[in-house]
Amino acid sequence: MAVENKITIKQKYLEVGHTQMKVDAMHSLIERRMRNRIINVPADYVQIIESTRNNPFDVTYLEHTFFKDFRNISSYKSIRPERSSGDPKVTDIHALMYSSSGEISYKLRFEEPWMLLAQRKSPFSAKSFEEMQNLHQTRLKTKARKYDGQQISENFTTIYRMIKGPYCLC
């Protein structure tokens, strides 16, 4: 994205126990609203999330076509700063900077200067999100255990069996 848009992107990694984000409060509100609720269909989640506050959260259904395959567009095989044992690992990185030239720099401490990631780059051409291949070509199949957990209560099965109309799978 930095190469395509000719910009520099700085990505900081949060430190465990040292962060408080707006999204934490949102998740807390949603979790409280979901307590003691019965979820019969996925749309129930949407209704609960939207009704969590007076100014409703914007909920978007995602389909399999939204998820893109990033495996073949990487110019670096790894973002590990060094290769030998005892050297810094990916989990030691506190910040990454992606330049418009395609180079990646890193910091192991926020107060340190940027260091160039010493990795051999693979040739690649920047692609827009729309040009990327889909990660999944078809909808994912539901695992049996999850499918069983999503079945409606016996109280409602007779009603659904009696329904005839455009949405009936009978």
Write down the domain spans for the chain. Answer: 2-162
Question: Angle 22-34/42-50 helices, nearest 10 degrees?
Answer: 120
The pLDDT value given to residue 76: 64
| Antiparallel, parallel or unpaired: β 104-107 and 9-12 | unpaired
Dihedral sign computed on CA atoms, order 39, 40, 42, 44:
negative
**Rounded to an integer, what distance in angstroms lies between the CA atom of residue 3 and that of residue 1?**
5
Contact 3, 104 (CB under 8 A): no
Instruction: State the pTM of this model.
Output: 0.53
The pLDDT value given to residue 103: 85
pLDDT of 102-151, one tens digit each? 888 999 988 999 988 876 666 666 667 788 889 999 988 878 877 776 67
The pLDDT value given to residue 107: 92
Contact 2, 9 (CB under 8 A): yes
